[in-house]
Structure 1
Amino acid sequence: MKWHKIPSSAIRTKTPVQLLQLGGQKFCLIYHQGEWHATSYKCPHAGANLADGWCEEGKIICPFHRHSFNLIDDKGTKGQNNAIRINRLESRKDDLYVELPESMINKLLNLFK
């Protein structure tokens, strides 16, 4: 896992759901009810891009089949039997950082450093 600074342009817009890529990893940056969240960008049900979805009542809603996932504990609605990845966020001074898994390519490249 590695910490990455989220671009200030993404923070300023306060777009409800946006797709970002940092360190070779895509994720959703979500601004909902005055709070920031970072999640995996693919729905585990059918692989839809969650950045095309929306938020309701503390959940991200998949645009394909309307599966919903809790932004705090990652769980899908009862009966879905699935979950998304929640990435940790950390405020440092006036910046926001996200902790993301390292891509396989970056892991391999680091072996040769």
Structure 2
Amino acid sequence: MPILYFVWSIVLSVVPYIVTYVVRGLGFGLIVFTGVTLILDQAEQFLFAKFDGLPTALYSVLAIAGFPLGIKILFTAFGICIAIKTAVKPAHPIWRKPGSPWEA
């Protein structure tokens, strides 16, 4: 019976650390994904605003070549790439200064 209490106390003492790590990782991933999505949306709006300023003939040629669709596909691929990277590794050390216990 004392072994069961000992195991249960270890489980209860480890749970807060696991929950904290998971919540911190998910929160960081969500913030990064949201920020990158906003940046990509702004860049996409900027590019399409530049397309609106083109002469009609040039825009027609670019539309036939599929440039607007290609830009949409490119920005969607960037967003999916960021989503996968934040889901697979939500938090990991980027750089550790030699001789320092702190991670950047």
Work out whether the TM-score is over 0.5. Answer: no
More helix per residue: 2
Report which structure shows greater RCO (CA 8 Å, sep ≥6).
2
Name the TM-score, length of structure 2 as normaliser.
Answer: 0.26
More strand per residue: 1
Name the TM-score, length of structure 1 as normaliser.
Answer: 0.25
> Which one has a bigger Cα radius of gyration?
2
